[in-house]
């Protein structure tokens, strides 16, 4: 039989597999892989599609998928490139214009848009100021919509006519919401929206006037990418491309965390699957020791025997993975069906990638976890046909754990794409496993001494565990891993949700007040505290532009399209404060103190901007403020919660350094719904003040968080289901031995109750030990994850100490249930085995 | 000593198979008194082990009845039959069937503990001494040779002082020399303790050491000898 051709080996393997389909462990292996691939495919699809859906929400903040903006009109070839690619197009022109009536004049920011605008999201308007808004088309030619504060400032009514340049326009509605205004609500001047067709007639847009042209594009990701490629090289100095990812920070943060969480959840599912695959593959191998020895006797070489079983495993792996991918696809489809009311109708399909990745994940897990037991099969000595107690030389421990770790590492790396985090998790996990496993081994061995005096059910149940402490330690590590994965996911879910809830409490500020004059400051603050329970403090604002760092012009220092570049091309709101604003945190340097010996006034810089501008403590910054140049030295860096809806600033100066300059004040406050009347009165009492409503933005953000939360809860269910399924699969792996033992004890006259008691004792101890391991491991890993992946504050979780109890109940219950067959085994089995 | 301890009447066993129902035991009758020894012989598949299983109450017949130590096994549920086994029955198996997780001593203690005997440890040690394993008390099955394992199994079988000892090919897995010593031990203990012995075997020499011998063929009793 030397040199068995591969085709014959394949045929043999396939035939063997068909015969083996009735064997329990094949079904378990198939099931474990099915669950694993289904869970990771479903989560993969779900997060890919949900991500797509959330990104679509996020694109609303641009009003488009992709935006080409510039201070000059886009060149014809830039427009044609998009049209050739089949992208939808809309055009917007923005400029400032003074609107004059008998009541006064008001600088306004005018937007002229064509019929296609907006490409993402919807315009909303109301028939009268501060009335309920409704979505709809934009103004027709000859009409204009204005924000409520323009109506208040100039005492206008709907139906009045205003002039923009030379063109009279009738005010037909009150503009309440533009999707692409949301990210830019610090703009000071009220908005007027008009039709693009009227633009030429205004005569406002002349060569040299300050105008912003925006080309909005919408289309498939591929076409958008192609457009980006085509246009990027030819961008003029005044032009830039933006997409949703560059856009809104509030959305960005939530999306990023949700994505990491979903990835972590699928990692947990894969981990669970790995455990199940390892358990069932080792059962697959140990049940084939006899057959392998026989084949070796019949002349099969070691390599051929290995090949035969390897092919069988590969075959079952492929079939199970394909079925799993299909199942996962169906599962996520069902999930989206359940969520259809919450999600946009046109959720992107997700493509084939998640299925392929799911299958690959299953195969990598199979390879990593099943290879070592398979290798043992190759080493079964042919002598075993004569002496059944001859066992193969166990594979090297390094091989066993090395391949499993490698497989795990590969999968983790793919999911988080973050090498330090992957290594931290793997390394932390390894160290924890070694320490906890060692402790457990020691504990089990000490228990063995105690056990001599215990009652029979305990000795029967625990005898099995303690006779093979290494195997028992391995088993509790495996069950521990299941509990760990599940509790970690539960833990993260609740803390992520809490964090989001904290960020956006019910009474998060939903209005901003800008341009409060120093003379009005105290009266305004007093009025506000009557209307709103906890208004933010009033911060002084001086507009200023950063022009130089350590004497070098800032324009030469920043890279195009970076956050730093966006910050320096416009005026920043500069403020000063004696105390560190409530939700800011110092990340470097110190807040104002007397030790500050420099001649220059101190300034505290937001840390991400500082990073983008490569600022360090002690750097000298030069600002142009009201035509004057002011220098300041960086004395601290601050982390800012941009999604808190509190007034936030890039630059906070030391008190006393800007006080000589003309400043206005800024604050944010919460106004409960149906108090619009008070808002109108506030606007009338302080006509100079600009009031901005951010309800719409808040609502949008909340709806995204609701979706993410729902997704997380469903994903959690998946992980829990996978964990339980895998737990049963794992128990099945020890079923043979239990059936034999149960039957023998029955034959010897043991009653069912004794067997049940013994079983309970065994699994309860196993579960408690696993729970303890899980609690310790969970604390360790959560501390790592919070710090490096989620940017959350870590605190100990005392409730995790309940895990040993939960483990004892869960694994005890599942153990007794999963090994029911062993209790019901006919005592006749022992005769049949002989 | 003419007291009946085990009797079977019109025993039938029918099992479902792919081709319909298959009768593996036909109308078998049998009566054993205390201290008797019975060998059941026959080729593979003749129904020997099935009969043993029915007589020991490990399985229930499709027809007929088995009475063991005065109890009609057909009227008992599995737990009640387990109690009867614990009180009256011992087993020796071809593949020894020791629990890997228990030491030799603990394996022998097991039936005594199932019976709730407080002197389990002492009795088990004494029995192991009787079978010549006093040096092996704390060894685990894996650390014992085949012959030693079977001696532990015999000690376990006699531990609870059973009325009936069922032995299924007790020497089947042993070399002839060891097999000889094991069967000597089995018959010695049988005589010493007045136990009834029911033995399934291929080994004609072993079979002829029993008081009686029945031969099965295709589930029918074809020969009944009292040597």
Query: Bigger pLDDT: A469 or A150?
Result: A150
Query: Bigger pLDDT: A633 or A410?
Result: A633
pLDDT at A247: 47
Assigned domain for A693 exists: no
State whether A109 and A17 are in the same domain: no
* Alpha carbon distances (Å) from A369 to A30, A38, A364, A745: 14, 18, 8, 34
Query: Bigger pLDDT: B150 or A97?
Result: B150
Reported as a single tens digit per residue, the pLDDT across A211-221 is: 889 999 998 88
pLDDT at B32: 92
State whether A232 and A280 are in the same domain: no
pLDDT at A113: 94
- Ranking A73-87, A303-317, A778-792 by mean pLDDT, the lowest is A778-792
For A623-633, what is the mean pLDDT?
84
For A707-727, what is the mean pLDDT?
68
The whole-angstrom separation of Cα A757 and Cα A816 is 9
Closest by CA position to A535, among listed A666, A639, A682, A696: A666
State whether A51 and A68 are in the same domain: no
State whether A230 and A262 are in the same domain: no
Cβ of B110 and A748 within 8 Å? Answer: yes
Q: Please list every residue in chain A whose beta carbon sits closer than 8 Å to the beta carbon of residue B53.
A: 828, 831
Assigned domain for A83 exists: yes
Among A209, A242, A275, residue at a domain's last position: A242
- The long-range contacts involving A201-205, CB below 8 angstroms and separated by at least 24 positions, are A201/A165, A201/A166, A201/A167, A202/A97, A202/A164, A202/A165, A202/A166, A202/A167, A203/A165, A203/A166, A203/A167, A204/A95, A204/A97, A204/A110, A204/A164, A204/A165, A205/A93, A205/A95
pLDDT at A77 over 60: yes
Q: In what side-by-side order are the strands of the sheet with B37-42?
A: B89-92, B164-168, B196-200, B37-42, B212-217, B220-225
**Rg (chain B; Cα; Å):** 17
Task: Provide, rounded to the nearest whole percent, the portion of chain A with pLDDT above 70.
Answer: 74
pLDDT at A711: 67
Q: Please list every residue in chain B whose beta carbon sits closer than 8 Å to the beta carbon of residue A456.
A: 113-114
For B123-136, what is the mean pLDDT?
91
State whether A571 and A663 are in the same domain: yes
Assigned domain for A36 exists: yes
Assigned domain for A679 exists: no
State whether A271 and A213 are in the same domain: no
The whole-angstrom separation of Cα A193 and Cα A113 is 7
- Ranking A82-91, A503-512, A664-673, B189-198 by mean pLDDT, the lowest is A503-512
State whether A359 and A397 are in the same domain: yes
* Alpha carbon distances (Å) from A560 to A237, A530, A557, A565, B213: 9, 46, 10, 6, 102
State whether A105 and A148 are in the same domain: yes
For B118-135, what is the mean pLDDT?
90
Mean pLDDT, chain A, whole residue set: 77
Candidate ranges A150-164, A374-388, A720-734; pick with highest mean pLDDT? A150-164
Per-residue DSSP letter, A658 = S
pLDDT at B181: 85
pLDDT at A1: 40
pTM recorded for the entire structure: 0.57
Which among B111, B140, B169 is the nearest to A834, CB-wise? B169
For B19-34, what is the mean pLDDT?
90
Compute how many other C-beta atoms are within 10 angstroms of the C-beta atom of residue A59.
Answer: 26
3-state SS, A427-472, equals HHHHHHHHHHHHHHHHHHHHHHHHHCCCCHHHHHHHHHHHHCHHHH
A543 burial (CB, 10 Å; 0-12 / 13-18 / 19+) is: middle
Which among A464, A749, A828 is the nearest to B85, CB-wise? A749
For A29-50, what is the mean pLDDT?
78
Query: How far does Cα A135 stand from its chain's mean position?
Result: 30
Reported as a single tens digit per residue, the pLDDT across A485-504 is: 778 777 877 777 777 666 66
Among A193, A208, A242, residue at a domain's last position: A242
Task: Identify the band that residue B223 occupies on the pLDDT scale cut at 50, 70 and 90.
Answer: confident
Contact by Cβ (8 Å): B30, B164: no
Candidate ranges A76-90, A424-438, B180-194; pick with highest mean pLDDT? A76-90
B79 touches chain A (CB under 8 A): yes
pLDDT at A331: 80
Closest by CA position to A592, among listed A632, A644, A540, A642: A632
Handedness of CA A83, A89, A93, A94 (dihedral sign): negative
Residue the block writes with tokens 């953000």: A701
Reported as a single tens digit per residue, the pLDDT across A414-444 is: 665 556 666 666 677 777 778 877 887 788 7
For A328-333, what is the mean pLDDT?
82
The whole-angstrom separation of Cα A123 and Cα A134 is 8
State whether A208 and A291 are in the same domain: no
pLDDT at A743 over 50: yes
Contact by Cβ (8 Å): A48, A289: no
pLDDT at A777: 83
List of domains in chain B:
4-225 (3.40.50.300)
Candidate ranges A120-129, A210-219, A536-545, B32-41; pick with highest mean pLDDT? B32-41
Q: Which residues form the domain of A634? A: 536-669
State whether A494 and A431 are in the same domain: yes
Q: Helices (H) and strands (E) in chain A — how many of each?
A: 24, 22
Compute how many other C-beta atoms are within 10 angstroms of the C-beta atom of residue A609.
Answer: 22
State whether A705 and A739 are in the same domain: yes
pLDDT at B104 over 50: yes
First to last CA, chain A: 32
pLDDT at A832 over 70: no
Assigned domain for A141 exists: yes
Task: Provide, rounded to the nearest whole percent, the portion of chain A with pLDDT above 90.
Answer: 8
Which among B52, B79, B111 is the nearest to A748, CB-wise? B111
Task: Identify the band that residue A92 occupies on the pLDDT scale cut at 50, 70 and 90.
Answer: very high
The whole-angstrom separation of Cα A577 and Cα A656 is 9
Cβ of A748 and B114 within 8 Å? Answer: yes
- Ranking A266-275, A489-498, B80-89 by mean pLDDT, the lowest is A266-275
The whole-angstrom separation of Cα B128 and Cα A7 is 56
Query: Bigger pLDDT: B161 or A378?
Result: B161
State whether A476 and A364 are in the same domain: yes
Q: Which of residues 41-60 of B touch A (CB under 8 A)?
A: 49, 52-53, 56, 58-59
Assigned domain for A571 exists: yes
Q: State the ipTM, two decimals.
A: 0.72
Query: What tokens appear for A186 in the block?
Result: 């610090």
**How open is the CA angle B206-B212-B216, to the nearest 5 degrees?**
80
Task: Identify the band that residue B55 occupies on the pLDDT scale cut at 50, 70 and 90.
Answer: very high
B114 touches chain A (CB under 8 A): yes
- Total count of domains within chain A: 3
pLDDT at A299: 63
Q: How many CA atoms lie within 13 A of A667 on its CB side?
A: 21
Assigned domain for A696 exists: no
pLDDT at A51: 67
Assigned domain for A482 exists: yes
Q: Please list every residue in chain A whose beta carbon sits closer than 8 Å to the beta carbon of residue B100.
A: 467
Among A242, A269, A292, residue at a domain's last position: A242
Query: What tokens appear for A546 in the block?
Result: 């950063």
Residue of B nearest to A464 (CA): B101
Query: Bigger pLDDT: A401 or B20?
Result: B20
């Amino acid at each position: 039989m030397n040199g068995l051709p591969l085709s014959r080996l394949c045929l043999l393997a396939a035939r063997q597999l068909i015969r083996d389909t009735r064997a329990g462990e094949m079904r378990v292996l198939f099931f474990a892989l099915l669950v694993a691939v289904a869970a990771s495919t479903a989560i993969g699809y779900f997060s890919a599609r949900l991500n797509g859906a959330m990104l679509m929400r996020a694109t609303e903040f641009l009003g488009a998928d992709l935006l080409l903006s510039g201070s000059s009109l886009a060149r014809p070839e830039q427009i044609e490139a998009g049209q050739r690619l089949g992208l939808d197009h809309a055009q917007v022109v923005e400029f400032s214009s003074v609107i004059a009536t008998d009541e006064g004049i008001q600088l306004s920011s005018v937007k002229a848009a064509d019929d296609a605008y907006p490409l993402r999201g919807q315009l909303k308007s109301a028939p009268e100021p501060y009335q309920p808004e409704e979505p709809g088309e934009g103004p027709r030619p000859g009409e204009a919509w204005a924000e409520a504060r323009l109506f208040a400032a100039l005492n206008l009514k709907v139906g009045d006519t205003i002039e923009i340049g030379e063109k009279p326009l009738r005010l037909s509605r009150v503009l309440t919401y533009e999707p692409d205004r949301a990210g830019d609500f610090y703009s000071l001047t009220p908005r007027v929206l008009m039709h693009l067709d009227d633009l030429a007639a205004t005569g406002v847009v002349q060569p040299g006037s300050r105008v912003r042209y925006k080309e909005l594009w919408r289309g498939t990701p591929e076409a958008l990418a192609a457009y980006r490629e085509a246009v990027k090289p030819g961008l003029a100095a005044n032009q830039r491309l933006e997409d949703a990812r560059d856009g809104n920070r509030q959305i960005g943060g939530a999306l990023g965390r949700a994505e990491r969480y979903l990835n972590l959840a699928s990692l947990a599912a894969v981990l669970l699957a790995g455990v199940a695959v390892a358990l069932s593959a080792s059962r697959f191998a140990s049940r084939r020791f006899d057959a392998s020895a026989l084949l070796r006797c019949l002349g099969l070489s070691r390599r051929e025997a290995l090949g035969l079983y390897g092919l069988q495993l590969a075959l079952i792996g492929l079939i199970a993975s394909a079925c799993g991918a299909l199942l996962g696809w169906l599962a996520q489809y069902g999930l989206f069906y359940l969520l259809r009311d919450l999600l946009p109708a046109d959720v992107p399909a997700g493509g084939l990638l998640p299925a392929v990745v799911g299958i690959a994940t299953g195969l990598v897990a199979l390879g990593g976890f099943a290879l070592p037991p398979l290798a043992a099969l190759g080493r079964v000595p042919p002598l075993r046909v004569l002496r059944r107690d001859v066992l193969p030389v166990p594979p090297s421990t390094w091989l066993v754990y090395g391949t499993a770790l490698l497989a795990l590492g590969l999968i983790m790396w793919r999911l988080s794409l973050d090498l330090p985090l992957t290594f931290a998790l793997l390394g932390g996990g390894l160290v924890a496993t070694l320490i906890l496993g060692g402790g457990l081994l020691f504990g089990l061995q000490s228990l063995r001494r105690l056990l001599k005096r215990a009652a029979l059910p305990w000795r029967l149940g625990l005898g099995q565990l303690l006779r093979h402490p290494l195997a028992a330690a391995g088993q509790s590590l495996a069950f521990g891993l299941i509990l760990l994965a599940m509790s970690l996911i539960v833990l993260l879910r609740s803390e992520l949700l809490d964090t989001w809830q904290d960020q956006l409490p019910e009474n998060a500020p939903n209005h901003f007040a800008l341009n409060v004059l120093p003379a009005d400051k105290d009266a305004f603050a007093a009025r506000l505290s009557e209307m709103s329970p906890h208004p933010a403090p009033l911060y002084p604002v001086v507009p200023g532009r950063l022009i130089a760092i350590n004497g070098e012009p800032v324009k030469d220092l920043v890279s195009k399209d970076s956050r730093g570049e966006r910050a320096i091309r416009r005026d920043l709101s500069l403020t000063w404060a004696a105390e560190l604003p409530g939700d800011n945190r110092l990340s470097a340097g110190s807040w104002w103190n007397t030790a500050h010996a420099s001649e220059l006034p101190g300034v505290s810089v937001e840390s991400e901007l500082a990073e983008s501008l490569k600022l360090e403590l002690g750097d000298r910054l030069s600002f142009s403020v009201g035509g004057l140049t002011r220098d300041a030295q960086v004395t601290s860096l601050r982390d800012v919660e941009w999604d808190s809806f509190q007034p936030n600033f890039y630059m906070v100066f030391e008190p006393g350094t800007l006080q000589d300059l003309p400043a206005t004040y800024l604050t944010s406050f919460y106004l409960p719904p149906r108090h619009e009347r008070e808002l109108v009165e506030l606007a009338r009492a302080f006509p100079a003040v600009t009031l901005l409503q951010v309800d719409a933005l808040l609502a949008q953000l909340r709806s995204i968080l609701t979706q993410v939360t729902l997704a997380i809860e469903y994903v959690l269910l998946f992980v829990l289901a996978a964990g339980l399924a895998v737990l049963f699969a794992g128990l099945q792996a020890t079923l043979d031995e239990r059936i034999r033992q149960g039957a023998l004890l029955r034959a010897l006259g043991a009653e069912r109750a004794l067997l049940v008691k013994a079983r309970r004792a065994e699994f309860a101890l196993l579960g408690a030990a696993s729970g303890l391991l899980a609690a310790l491991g969970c604390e360790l890993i959560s501390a790592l994850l919070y710090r490096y992946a989620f940017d959350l504050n870590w605190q100990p979780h005392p409730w995790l100490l309940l895990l040993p109890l939960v483990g004892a109940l869960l694994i005890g219950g599942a153990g007794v249930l999963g090994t029911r067959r062993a209790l019901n085994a006919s005592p006749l089995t022992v005769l049949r085995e002989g | 000593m003419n007291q009946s301890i085990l009797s079977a009447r019109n025993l039938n066993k029918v099992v479902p198979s792919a081709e319909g129902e298959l009768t593996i035991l036909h109308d078998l009758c049998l009566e054993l008194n205390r201290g008797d020894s019975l060998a059941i012989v026959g080729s593979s598949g003749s129904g020997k082990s099935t009969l043993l299983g029915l007589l020991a109450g490990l399985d229930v017949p499709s027809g007929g009845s088995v009475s063991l130590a005065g109890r009609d096994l057909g009227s008992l549920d599995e737990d009640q039959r387990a109690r009867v086994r614990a009180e009256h029955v011992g087993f020796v198996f071809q593949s020894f069937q020791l629990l890997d997780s228990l030491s030799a001593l603990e394996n022998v203690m097991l039936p005594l503990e199932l019976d709730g005997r407080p002197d389990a440890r002492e009795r088990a040690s004494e029995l192991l001494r009787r079978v010549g394993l006093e040096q092996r008390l704390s060894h685990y099955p894996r650390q014992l040779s085949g012959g030693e394992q079977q001696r532990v199994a015999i000690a376990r079988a006699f531990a609870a002082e059973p009325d009936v000892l069922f032995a299924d090919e007790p020497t089947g897995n042993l070399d002839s020399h060891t097999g000889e010593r094991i069967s000597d031990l089995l018959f010695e203990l049988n005589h010493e303790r007045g136990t009834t012995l029911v033995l399934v075997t291929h080994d004609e020499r072993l079979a002829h050491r029993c008081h009686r011998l029945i031969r099965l063929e295709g589930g029918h009793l074809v020969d009944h000898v009292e040597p």
